[in-house]
Amino acid sequence: MDASFFLHTKPVRALIALSDRNRDWYASLLAKEADCTYAHMIKILSSFEEANLVVFSRTGRIKLVYLTDFGLELAHDFESIMRRLDRLDSGKMAGEEILDND
């Protein structure tokens, strides 16, 4: 899988959402969470499956999505990166002062 795939927000949002194991995740719910169309989410999930990040389980008519161990590890890494970027955006990097070049 091309690393640039993860520079897009929707796959990262979907991966982070899937790390919440307190919810049953399926494609249409993930599409809402990642703010994308159902068709786009199907393509994202297909790429995740090819990279062995997710597995599917059919329960009746619903096809549930679960992260593999590697997928969960990667989701936690991205979640950490997103938190750091949010702190950077707000100017609150832990233990660092934002220097003014004036």
Check which CATH number belongs to the domain holding 48 and give it. 1.10.10.10
Residue 53 lies in a domain: yes
Give Rg (Cα) of the chain.
Answer: 16
Q: For residue 90, is it within any domain?
A: no
Residue 101 lies in a domain: no
| Number of domains making up the chain | 1
In a domain, 97, yes or no: no
3-state secondary structure of 22: coil
Per-residue pLDDT of the chain (102 residues; tens, 9 = 90+): 555 666 788 999 999 999 999 999 999 999 999 999 999 999 999 999 999 999 999 989 999 999 999 999 999 999 998 888 778 777 665 555 555 554
Instruction: List for the chain the helix, strand, coil content (%; round to 5).
Output: 55, 15, 30
| 95 in a structural domain | no
Residue 92 lies in a domain: no
Is residue 55 one of the residues assigned to a domain? yes
Range of the domain at 45: 3-83
Residue 88 located in a structural domain: no
Other Cβ atoms less than 10 A from the Cβ of 47: the count is: 15
